[in-house]
Amino acid sequence: MTEPRPTIRLDKWLWHARFFKSRSLAAGVVSAGKVRVDRQPVSKPARTVGPGDVLTFIQARETRVVRILACGERRGPAPEAQALYEDLTPVPQERPASVEGANPKYEKGGRPTKKDRRDMGLD
């Protein structure tokens, strides 16, 4: 006979893994339909998840993709929380640098001093 797979509520796991500050915030995101479990949209915070499931959700303007490794017993410190998942989030591509000369800059860097403004003839 095989042992049943350990499971935990989705909102509780997101809170344990420290993706959200409170369980109610996690439940709100799930209820809004902004979380996917194995590519399927989920809208119920009580949906059970377990090791091997892949979650996709938005956190602080960044799309996160994580694979659950363990359910967790409590909401512990960050190193303990990071052991609950494997981060599969793709590395964001760098944005192209602005065109040279598009943003005029002061050569010395920063705001000019009063003496600099006098020398430039602005005062």
**Within-domain flag for 94:** no
Q: What is the DSSP letter of 113?
A: P
Average pLDDT over residues 2-10: 91
Residue 115 within any structural domain of the chain: no
Task: Note the pLDDT tens digit of each residue in 100-110.
Answer: 555 555 566 78
Distance CA(79)–CA(44), nearest Å, equals 28
Q: Is residue 69 part of a domain?
A: yes
Domain assignment of residue 76, given as a range: 8-87
* Residue 16 in tokens: 């344990």
Find the CATH number of the domain harbouring 82. 3.10.290.10
24 belongs to a structural domain: yes
The answer as to whether 53 is a domain residue is yes
Q: Structure pTM?
A: 0.74
Q: What is the mean pLDDT of residues 21-36?
A: 96
Q: What is the C-alpha to C-alpha distance for residues 49 and 112, in angstroms, rounded to an integer?
A: 57
Percentage of the residues of the chain whose pLDDT score is greater than 70: 87
Q: Are 60 and 34 in contact (CB under 8 A)?
A: no
Residue 71 placed within a domain: yes
What burial letters (b/e) apply to 88-123, b meaning 16+ CB within 10 Å? eeeeeeeeeeeeeeeeeeeeeeeebeeeeeeeeeee
Indicate the number of domains in the chain: 1
Residue 40 in domain: yes
Q: Exposed, middle or buried by CB within 10 Å (0-12, 13-18, 19+), for 61?
A: exposed
Q: With 0-12 CB in 10 A as exposed, 13-18 as middle and 19+ as buried, what is 6? A: exposed
- Asked, for residue 45, whether it belongs to a domain, the answer is yes
**Residue 11 clears pLDDT 90, i.e. is over it:** yes
Q: Please name which of 34, 27, 20 lies closest in space to residue 81, comparing C-alpha atoms.
A: 20
